[in-house]
Amino acid sequence: FPDASFDIAISRFSVHHWPRPESAFREIRRVVRPGGRLAAVDLLAPEDGPLDTFVHAVELLRDPSHARSMRVSEWLALLGTAGFAAHLERAWELEHDVETWLAQTAPDGWRADAVRALLRDAQPAAREHFRIAPDASTFRVGCGLIVATRA
């Protein structure tokens, strides 16, 4: 598309599949007019390193197309580098029923078993943060709406 072609770009639960979001954000900036916006709803990884690693392992085992759920700090830094002024507009938690969630991507049996084991055997900090049910049948992940304005 030509430069400055759009008033807004929108992404819904896709950025965590992008292998190089920094390149994509630069391209989005190019095609959005000055003052235009990017609105992205996506998963938010915890700022805490071990918790981030835990949820990343769970997501990657479930879906090999998963690249990375970014921390809010990563979103803001990458968008800032790409030429946007960005902020977290809203955050919430999304509850997953584990079996329904696994069925959506139909991972190989060993992958599904590994996800179940990680959730079942999670350390107390992960159990608390992700609100993993005592029987590991449900858990919660962070989501957010990031709004970025092209400078």
| pLDDT at residue number 20 | 97
Positions in the chain short of pLDDT 70: none
Total-model pTM: 0.94
| pLDDT at residue number 91 | 98
SS3 assignment, position 83: coil
| pLDDT at residue number 40 | 98
| pLDDT at residue number 71 | 98
CA distances from 2 to 27, 32, 35, 58 (A): 11, 9, 16, 39
| pLDDT at residue number 97 | 98
Residue 94 structure tokens: 């999304």
| pLDDT at residue number 85 | 98
Contact by Cβ (8 Å): 38, 28: yes
